[in-house]
C-alpha cells in the first residue's frame, strides 16, 4: 500500500448511517473496503479529478469526495453517499 487513507469524521458518520440499512450492509461494507484498497494503492487512478487536489470516485453502491495529498502520500475521504441503482 502506497498511500495512507483517512476518513474524515463526517464521512465516517455518513458511512455509519448508510450501514444502518440491514439489507445493504454486506454490499456497502464490501464497497467501502474496495474504496480503501483503491485509495491505498493508487488514489489518482481511482475516480476522476474535480478541482485542484479534490476528486470524486464511485464503487457501487457508494460515491465519495476525496482529496489526494501527494507530498505526504495521503488520501482523505470527506463525503460518502449511497447511489441508488
| Contact assessment for residue 75 and residue 4, using Cβ atoms and an 8 Å cutoff | yes
Beta bridge partners of 80: 64
Number of domains in the chain: 1
Q: What are phi and psi of 41, to 5 degrees?
A: -95, -20
Question: What is this structure's pTM?
Answer: 0.93
Kindly report, residue by residue over 38-57, the tens digit of the pLDDT.
999 999 999 999 999 999 99
| High-pLDDT (> 90) share of the chain, % | 88
CATH code at position 23: 3.30.2310.20
Residue 38 domain boundaries: 4-82
Cα angle: 22, vertex 7, 26; to 5 degrees: 20
Amino acid at each position: 500500500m502506497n498511500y495512507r487513507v483517512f476518513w474524515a469524521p463526517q464521512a465516517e458518520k455518513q458511512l455509519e448511517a448508510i450501514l444502518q440499512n440491514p439489507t445493504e450492509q454486506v454490499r456497502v461494507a464490501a464497497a467501502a473496503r474496495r474504496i480503501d484498497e483503491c485509495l491505498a494503492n493508487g488514489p489518482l487512478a481511482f475516480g476522476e479529478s474535480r478541482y485542484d487536489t479534490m476528486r470524486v470516485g464511485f464503487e457501487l453502491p457508494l460515491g465519495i469526495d476525496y482529496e489526494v495529498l501527494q507530498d505526504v502520500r495521503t488520501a482523505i475521504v470527506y463525503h460518502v453517499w449511497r447511489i441508488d441503482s
